[in-house]
Amino acid sequence: MLAVERRDNILETLRSQGIVTVLELSKSFDVTEETIRRDLKKLETANGVVRTYGGAYISKTVHSDIPVGIREGIYLEGKEAIADLAEQFIVDGETIILDSSTTSIHIAKRLRNRKNIIVITNGIKIVNILSDAEAVKVICTGGTLRPRQLSFTGPAAVKSLCTYYSDKAFVSCTGIDLQNGLTDSDEQEAEIRKKMLEQAQEKIIIADNTKFGKTSFAAIAPVSAADCIFTDMEPDETWRAELDRMKIRYSYRGQ
């Protein structure tokens, strides 16, 4: 098969499935993973294709369920910048809530050597990261497993969260819009994130710049529900004015 034919087939698969992985494509076309990465690089600038470390995806709808393994390779620099801000904001001795987002995974990695921290989470990857951190107590919500996202949701997870209160909650979203508020691509994940915000004294939204001005499928909360927003770039003038009006603090890389 010619390279151009293979790329056409990859694009067709992306349009039908929404996501592809390098490993699966390598096996399907019987070529090396490096060949597939080159193909995805050529497709990246067209047709809404977004390339990640482990594959690629097309996300043009408000309801998209991208596996955590793909999301982990997206906008790494922005997530690292947000995690840096969160690390400085967390004080030893606090109880914090981390959602199952890939940005929260970066925050969790920075907590392994902290002292007397309690972390409440619905994310399996966060539990694994902190499982051998001697001075960090981890509480997992339990609930119904979402295998593609490695997170727990559902009534049992919400009920579990209702029994705890935290100093701070770090909650992500798929989109953040001044009119439509904080939204997520999955309604059950949205319900978990809403409850996490309700159970915290300080409510911190963690969202890279690509999520601003976007609306996804399920409502989490209005923007005004947040006390603070951590992001990787300075919000534009309209956002700054509205956040100032709502008395919501915001921090970004380089500030």
Reported as a single tens digit per residue, the pLDDT across 186-240 is 999 999 999 999 999 999 999 998 889 989 889 999 999 999 999 999 999 999 9
pLDDT digits (tens, 9 = 90+) for 166-193: 999 999 998 999 999 999 989 999 999 9
Contact by Cβ (8 Å): 227, 249: yes
What is the predicted pLDDT for the residue at 197? Answer: 98
**Average pLDDT, integer, range 12-28:** 81
User: What's the whole-number average pLDDT of the chain?
Assistant: 89
* Spatial distance between the Cα atoms of 190 and 31, rounded to a whole number of angstroms: 39
- CATH 3.40.50.1360-classified regions of the chain: 76-252
DSSP summary character for residue 246? T
* Spatial distance between the Cα atoms of 128 and 144, rounded to a whole number of angstroms: 18
Contact by Cβ (8 Å): 202, 169: yes
Please compute Rg for the chain using Cα positions.
19
Domain spanning 76-252, CATH class: alpha beta
**Average pLDDT, integer, range 5-11:** 87
Does the pTM surpass 0.75? The reply is yes
- CATH 1.10.10.10-classified regions of the chain: 3-60
DSSP summary character for residue 123? B
| pLDDT over 60 at 63, yes or no | no
> What CATH number was assigned to the domain covering residues 3-60?
1.10.10.10
* Spatial distance between the Cα atoms of 152 and 61, rounded to a whole number of angstroms: 24
pLDDT digits (tens, 9 = 90+) for 132-163: 999 999 999 999 999 988 999 999 999 999 99
> CA 113 → CA 85, 103, 105, 136, distances in Å?
17, 18, 15, 8
